[in-house]
Amino acid sequence: MFRYGFEWEQKGTHEEHLSVIDYKKQERTKELAAVEQKLTDKSAEFNILAKRINNLKDGEHDYYEMEQKLTSDPEYQLPEPQAFMTAKSYKTKFAEPLIKKLKEMIKSLIVQCAKIWDSYHRINERNGRLYKENEHLIASNNRLKEENTALREQNKNYALLRKVFGSKQVDNLVAQAREAQQAKRLQRQRSYDYER
């Protein structure tokens, strides 16, 4: 390193050296934890959307209550005209105020209905995306579980080798394999540099 101008930098973070299998296992465990956290977040988001859909159902119930109120509540019914009342005075005293009240109610209901439909469509669209994302996360989670199972099996085999041949001999073999790999990498780098 000194020959090529590199210096050793102390980061102050010393982690135990892991075998390749243990390192892969550690990384897969981290990935699995991240996927599970994402799945939990999406599940919570799904629950929120489900509550919103239930609110829409409650709104439908409120609509039917309003319909009943309009058909049976005396406040929204035209009274019988009094004796000797002219059509003009009946219109100004009873019909026009009731029509004005009904128009205001209809306007507010139309605005609320538009908001509800907009919210419903957004929720429905988002629910579709969450469903697809959830399916993807489930598939990814299953793939990682299978990979973890395979890595555990490899780790058992590695532990068995260490037990049978002895830790020192296995460590020497691993070190030799790494040195051979490093030599090949250096050879490729040199041939690449030479071709340039």
Which residue reads 């956290």 in tokens?
A: 37
Q: How many CB atoms lie within 10 A of CB 131?
A: 12
Using alpha carbons, select from 82, 79, 85 the residue that is nearest to residue 98. Answer: 79
**pTM of the full predicted structure?**
0.41
Q: What is the mean pLDDT of residues 47-53?
A: 81
Cα 185 to Cα 1, 68, 180, 191: the distances in Å are 16, 82, 9, 10
128-137: per-residue pLDDT in tens? 998 999 999 9
Q: What is the mean pLDDT of residues 78-107?
A: 81
> Of all residues in the chain, what percent are helix, strand and coil, respectively (each to 5)?
85, 0, 15
Using alpha carbons, select from 151, 111, 188, 170 the residue that is nearest to residue 28. Answer: 151
Query: What length is written for the chain?
Result: 196
| Confidence class for position 189, pLDDT limits 50, 70, 90 | confident
pLDDT of residue 9: 67
Query: Does the pLDDT of residue 107 top 80, yes or no?
Result: yes
- 158: Cβ–Cβ under 8 A, 6 or more apart, which residues? 19, 21, 170
Kindly tell me the sign of the dihedral angle through the C-alpha atoms of 151, 153, 157, 160.
positive
CA atoms within 13 A on the CB side of 182: 6
- 52: Cβ–Cβ under 8 A, 6 or more apart, which residues? 119, 123
Whole-number Å distance between alpha carbons of 28 and 148: 7
pLDDT of residue 14: 62
154-182: per-residue pLDDT in tens? 889 888 888 888 888 888 988 999 999 99
Lowest pLDDT segment from 32-46, 47-61, 95-109, 173-187: 47-61
Domain locations in the chain?
20-72+90-165, 167-196
- 116: Cβ–Cβ under 8 A, 6 or more apart, which residues? 56, 59
